[in-house]
C-alpha cells in the first residue's frame, strides 16, 4: 500500500452505486444507470443524469442498467461507469491511483469476480479488491464477523437478496436469489395494470413501494394517488391505491425472498443455528426498509429479525472499514494489482 494512495470503497449495486471514502464517509450515491446512443454506442450520461432519462428517451438513446442482478452484464459500460465514479469521488486534481474495494453478490462465480476486478483496474484503480456483499454488509452493520459465533445477514438490494451465515470471518452457508426490490416494483406495476387498467413506469412503482408498501397487512392503511396512462383510452388518468392492495400484489416476491432465508437456515450447522436464534437475523440493504419486513421474516421463520442502522449504507460502510483494515480481511477477497 502506498501511503499517498487514496482509498475508495464502491458498493456496485444493480440499482444504486455508493462510493465511500475513509474519513469522509459516503461521497457519492447515484443510480447505476448509463445512457447510450443506439447508433455509435457512445456513452452520453451516467448516474443521476442518466436515470432522469429512463422511460423518457427518444429511440436513438437507451438508458439502461449495466449491472444485471448485481453482476456485470455489459463490461465496457460498467468500466466507464466505474471510471466516472472514481473520478467524481476523488476530484480531477487527484494524481494518485486509488486502492479500490468493490462489493459483489455472494453467488457470483470466480470468473464474474475477476471481471469486476479487471473493470476496476481498467477504470483507473491501482489495486482492486473484491469482497462478497454479505461480509461487507455484516462489517458495516457492526457485526464482529471474526468471532467463532454464527451471525446471519440478509442483504436485500435492488437486484438480489444475499443471505449468509458468517462465522470466523468466512461464509458458512449462503444463497443469492435474483428476486429483490426491482421485482417488487415490477409486481406493483403489473398489479396496477391488471386491476386498474393503468400503465405506470418503474419510478412510479418504486414510489408506491416506498410511500405505502408493506410486507404484512396493516390495520391503518395508507393511500396514494398514482398517475399513469389508461390502457383503454390511452389518456393520462389517476387511481387511488391502498397499502393492503400492495401487500397482496407483492406477496409472491416476498415469499421467494423468505424462501431464500429459510433455505440458508436449513443449511446452517446446529451450533451456529443456536447462535442465530439468540442474536436474530440482521437485515441490510435498501429493500429491507420495506415496512414490517423484519416482522414478516419473524412470522415465517420463527427467528427474530432486526433492521440494521442505515440499512441501505451497510455495504458501503463495510467497504470503508475493510479499507482501513485490509490485512485483517485479506483472506476474504479476490485481489488484483494494477
The rounded distance, in Å, linking the Cα atoms of 18 and 11 is: 5
What is the pLDDT at residue 96?
86
Which one-letter DSSP state was computed for residue 291? B
What is the pLDDT at residue 43?
87
Judge whether 237 and 230 are in contact, CB under 8 Å.
Answer: yes
* 309: phi then psi, degrees, rounded to nearest 5: -65, 140
Q: Residue ranges of the chain with pLDDT lower than 50?
A: 1-2
What is the pLDDT at residue 216?
97
Domains and CATH numbers, the chain: 7-136+314-337 (3.30.420.40), 141-179+252-312 (3.30.420.40), 181-251 (3.90.640.10)
The pLDDT tens digits of the residues spanning 277-292 come to: 999 999 999 999 999 9
What is the pLDDT at residue 1?
46
Cell numbers representing residue 99 in the block: 486502492
Amino acid at each position: 500500500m502506498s501511503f499517498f494512495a487514496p482509498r475508495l470503497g464502491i458498493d456496485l449495486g444493480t440499482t444504486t452505486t455508493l462510493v465511500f471514502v475513509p474519513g469522509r464517509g459516503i461521497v457519492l450515491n447515484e443510480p447505476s444507470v448509463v445512457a447510450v446512443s443506439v447508433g455509435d454506442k457512445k456513452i452520453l450520461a451516467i448516474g443521476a443524469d442518466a436515470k432522469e432519462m429512463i422511460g423518457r428517451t427518444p429511440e436513438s438513446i437507451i438508458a439502461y442498467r449495466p449491472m444485471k442482478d448485481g453482476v456485470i452484464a455489459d463490461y465496457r459500460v460498467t468500466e466507464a461507469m466505474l471510471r466516472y465514479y472514481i473520478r467524481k469521488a476523488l476530484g480531477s486534481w487527484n494524481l494518485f491511483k486509488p486502492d479500490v474495494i468493490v462489493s459483489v453478490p455472494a453467488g457470483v462465480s470466480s470468473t464474474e469476480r475477476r471481471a469486476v476486478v479487471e473493470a476496476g483496474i481498467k477504470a483507473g484503480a491501482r489495486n482492486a479488491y473484491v469482497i462478497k456483499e454479505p461480509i461487507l454488509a455484516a462489517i458495516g452493520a457492526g457485526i464482529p464477523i471474526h468471532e467463532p459465533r454464527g451471525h446471519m445477514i440478509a442483504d436485500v438490494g435492488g437486484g438480489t437478496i444475499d443471505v449468509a451465515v458468517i462465522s470466523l470471518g468466512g461464509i458458512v452457508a449462503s444463497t443469492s436469489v435474483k428476486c429483490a426490490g426491482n421485482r417488487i416494483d415490477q409486481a406493483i406495476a403489473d398489479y396496477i395494470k391488471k386491476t386498474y387498467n393503468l400503465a405506470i413506469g418503474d419510478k412510479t412503482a418504486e414510489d408506491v413501494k416506498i410511500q405505502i408498501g408493506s410486507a404484512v397487512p396493516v390495520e391503518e392503511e395508507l393511500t396514494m394517488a398514482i398517475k399513469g396512462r389508461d390502457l383503454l383510452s390511452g389518456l393520462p388518468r389517476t387511481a387511488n391505491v391502498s397499502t393492503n392492495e400492495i401487500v397482496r400484489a407483492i406477496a409472491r416476491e416476498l415469499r421467494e425472498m423468505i424462501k431464500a432465508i429459510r433455505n440458508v437456515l436449513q443449511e446452517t450447522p446446529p451450533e451456529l443455528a443456536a447462535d442465530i436464534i439468540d442474536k436474530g437475523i440482521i437485515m441490510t440493504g435498501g429493500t429491507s426498509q420495506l415496512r414490517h419486513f423484519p416482522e414478516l421474516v419473524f412470522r415465517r421463520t420463527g427467528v427474530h429479525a432486526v433492521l440494521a442502522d442505515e440499512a441501505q449504507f451497510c455495504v458501503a460502510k463495510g467497504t470503508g472499514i475493510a479499507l482501513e483494515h485490509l490485512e485483517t480481511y485479506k483472506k476474504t477477497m479476490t485481489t488484483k494489482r494494477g
